[in-house]
Chain A
Amino acid sequence: MERKEILVADKITKIYGIGTKNLFEALHEVSLTMYEGEFVCIMGPSGAGKSTFINNLSTIDIPTKGKVFINGTEVRVMSEGQIGKFRYENLGFIFQEFNLLDSLTIFENIAVPLTLANVNKEEITQRVHDVAKKLGVEQTLDKFPNECSGGQRQRVAICRALVTNPKIIIADEPTGNLDSKNSHEILSLFKELNEKEGVSILMVTHDAKIASYSTKLLYIKDGIIDCTIEREGLSQKEYFYKIVDINSSESQELFE
């Protein structure tokens, strides 16, 4: 059966500091094709362009050159009016810093995307409770973000990302502020969402253990994709060692 392309990046380049003396090319003609149901992880050393890449793929930032297609639609040609609806229907964002609104309760935070889409009150309540139950944060719905633990806040951020049933989850270092127990619980959830519900996931991490939950890994270095690994038939442990090899070969270069 032919796999459906969910995200295509065609030679995207990102240059910062245009119009100043400090021009910096963070990405150089990077291309990627991501298929529906894939769990793609992006790794690389600090400053390699991982977050820039994910931001430019997901409408958070605009590439200087190149095209990005999400679910067959070119992102750059969309009007401002279309892009909001497009984000609502296709994308769910999760960040290291959780990015919850401190002034809203957990319930209200999860409900924000549905509110904007004018979903009726009963449906909002139902969907928020359903997703909160699934992620195990139902008991925190009346609390404020600062009354919750880091793990709970990240689960809430995932609830907010999932409440609209998006096609792709975009996660930038989602475990960066979590301890190892919470990190692996979150990643097990990602894996379950990916395998059982077919949600496509694009995630940035610098942790090989976290990356080993993915099905495909892109290693970015100096603004280009240095290598790609597919998990295919490998066990998670074998896949993990392969990821570690790539990272350590990068470190080995220091001594050569």
Chain B
Amino acid sequence: MGLIRLSLISLKKDLSKSMFYFLTFLLTTIFIFSFFNLVFHPGANINLGKDDGTFVTPIAVFVIVIAMVCVFLANNFYVSHKGKEISIILMSGASVFQLGIYLFFQVFIIMIFSIPLGLLIGYLLIPFINSLFASTFLYQGSLFYLSKQTLVATGAILLFEVFWCSLLNLGYCVRSTINSMMNEESKIDLSGIKGPKFSHRLFILCYFIPPVIFLFLKDSMSFLLFALIGIIGIFGIIKKVLPDWIEKRQKNESLQDSVQLLGLGFFHSDIQKVFGLMIIMLLSSILLTCVTVYTLKQPLVSMVALMSYISVMILMSLTIVFKIGMELNKRKKNFQNLCYLGFSLKQIHQIIHLEMKLFYGFILLLPFVYQVIILLNLLIRSEVTLYFVMIIFIIQIVPVVISYFISIYLYKAIIPKSIIEKR
């Protein structure tokens, strides 16, 4: 049994740990492929880089960065979940180089399956995407076109991702001690991100002023500029205002309502653990909506922005669900203790629903307020169709609602059987 066989056995027997990584690679490949195929379409007339007279280059950079962030997060989840395995192999006398090969081989196998499948799905999606957006933007062009540049650009980005993931994995093994790997389940923690030090009122003002201004704006570029102020507000609401509000409510009004007390407590913990991902998702929703409406007069660019929006929403929803799932696993004991304290199954379900409704409610509604006002403004002035508005709402609502139901399902799976049997 050589090192590679050991790596293969571990991968085969821990397939569930690889699923998220596989899915992220698969989706990233599909999105990057579809994105570039649209951009490199001969009818699009887009030149990425400094000759780009459209808004596509910054959108491309944004999408690539988000896709990479998702892949790096998935890689981080994967490797940090293998902390115990890695530490045992290190203790058994493996060198860091051997460990690098061990991990690279697993990553390589996951990619062997996910990348070709992603390319195939991307290829099959070409006519579907083209016809969908052609009907949205009245765009005329070939429905089935595959550019050589698409393959080159997608290949380059995927290679870059693989290279960096391997390097990061090697770095993780070098910088971590056996002790730290054995005791740390997850290395993902973006909660330390520091933002501007405003008062609560200022953050709330930053959030609410832009929608009021949106009502009167007539220039679609201005939406983007004012939305940037709103993003500062959202940052402050999630980081400061909401946690303080929860604490105050728990101290004053929730003490006599155990379901609310616990639901708010778990919600508070979710905000802290998933803060970075929440911010990326909220920021993406608002910015990509603004970019889509800003580029409405350039149908293909708007199409690219809309596709980026779909990609980012799906990728980020998947990442958040996975992160929430990891956090829930740590809560098994909490529910066992609640059972000992006399909580009924009904109360536990109420706690779970309250927490999840608050969590996904904020993810959905904070940007949705902006989107509704912007789109209504444009709809009233006949700059967008109702069909377009519905598409934006569907992109915003559907991934979040699906994530909510998956999280509820994952949550119910961790409730100790002893509680269910007592029912």
Enumerate chain A interface residues (CB-CB to B < 8 A).
Answer: 55, 59-62, 80-81, 83-85, 87-89, 91, 93, 99-104, 108, 111-113, 115-118, 121, 124, 160, 164
Contacts and interface: CB of A to CB of B under 8 A. Distances in A.
Given A55-B179, A62-B177, A103-B13, A116 B93 contact: yes
B342 interface: no
B179 A116 contact: no
Interface string B59-97: 000000000000000000000000011011111111111
Interface string B1-39: 111011001101110000000000000000000000000
Interface residues of B, number: 30
A142 to B, nearest CB: 14
B88 A112 contact: yes
A118 B89 CA distance: 14
Pick from B1, B3, B97, B177 the residue with the most CB of A within 10 Å. B1
Contacts of B5: 115
Contacts of A61: 177-180
Nearest to B170: A80
Nearest to A100: B88
Across chains A and B, which 3 residue pairs bring their CB atoms closest together, nearest first? Answer: A88-B93, A103-B13, A84-B95
18 contacts: A55-B179, A60-B91, A61-B179, A62-B177, A84-B94, A84-B96, A84-B98, A85-B95, A87-B91, A99-B84, A99-B91, A101-B10, A102-B13, A103-B12, A103-B14, A115-B3, A115-B6, A164-B93
Contacts of A84: 90, 93-96, 98
Given A60-B178, A101-B85, A87 B10 contact: no
B174 interface: yes
A55 to B, nearest CB: 5
Contact of B91 (A81, A93, A104, A118): A93
A24 to B, nearest CB: 15
B126 to A, nearest CB: 39
Please report whether the interface of chain B is mostly helix, strand, loop or mixed according to DSSP.
helix
- Looking at chain A's contact residues, the main secondary structure is helix
Given A61-B179, A160-B92, 11 more contacts: A60-B177, A60-B178, A61-B180, A81-B97, A87-B92, A89-B93, A99-B88, A108-B1, A111-B1, A115-B2, A118-B2
A104 B93 contact: no
A124 B10 CA distance: 19
A87 B93 contact: yes
A59 B87 CA distance: 11
Nearest to A163: B92
Contacts of A60: 91, 177-179
Contact of A112 (B84, B89, B182): B89
Interface of B: 1-3, 5-6, 9-10, 12-14, 84-85, 87-98, 174, 177-180, 182
Given A81-B97, A99-B84, A103-B10, A112 B174 contact: no
Contact of B9 (A80, A88, A103): A103
Contact of B98 (A116, A160, A164): A116
B179 A85 contact: no
B119 to A, nearest CB: 30
B383 to A, nearest CB: 52
A73 B413 CA distance: 51
Point out which of B12, B90, B92, B174 has the most chain A C-beta atoms below 10 A from its C-beta. B92
Given A59-B178, A61-B179, A101-B10, A113 B92 contact: yes
Max chain B C-beta neighbours (<10 A), residue from A102, A103, A121:
A103
A115 B4 CA distance: 10
A93 B90 CA distance: 11
Contacts of B88: 99-101, 112
A59 B178 CA distance: 8
Given A80-B174, A116-B98, A104 B92 contact: no
B88 to A, nearest CB: 6
Between A61, A99, A101, the greatest number of chain B beta carbons within 10 A of the residue's beta carbon is seen for A101
B90 A87 contact: yes
A116 B92 contact: yes
A102 B16 CA distance: 14
A100 B13 CA distance: 14
Nearest to A61: B179
A85 B14 CA distance: 27
Contacts of A93: 91
B67 to A, nearest CB: 30
Given A101-B85, A103-B13, A115-B6, A88 B1 contact: no
Nearest to A59: B178
A80 B172 CA distance: 13
A150 B98 CA distance: 31
A89 B9 CA distance: 25
A85 B10 CA distance: 22
Contacts of A55: 179
Contacts of B14: 103
A93 B192 CA distance: 35
A223 to B, nearest CB: 17
A140 B91 CA distance: 23
B79 to A, nearest CB: 16
In this complex, which of B3, B14, B94 has the most chain A Cβ atoms within 10 angstroms of its Cβ? B94
B245 to A, nearest CB: 26
A104 B3 CA distance: 13
Contacts of B1: 108, 111, 115, 121, 124
A119 to B, nearest CB: 10
Contacts of A89: 93
Nearest to A82: B95
Contacts of B6: 104, 108, 112, 115
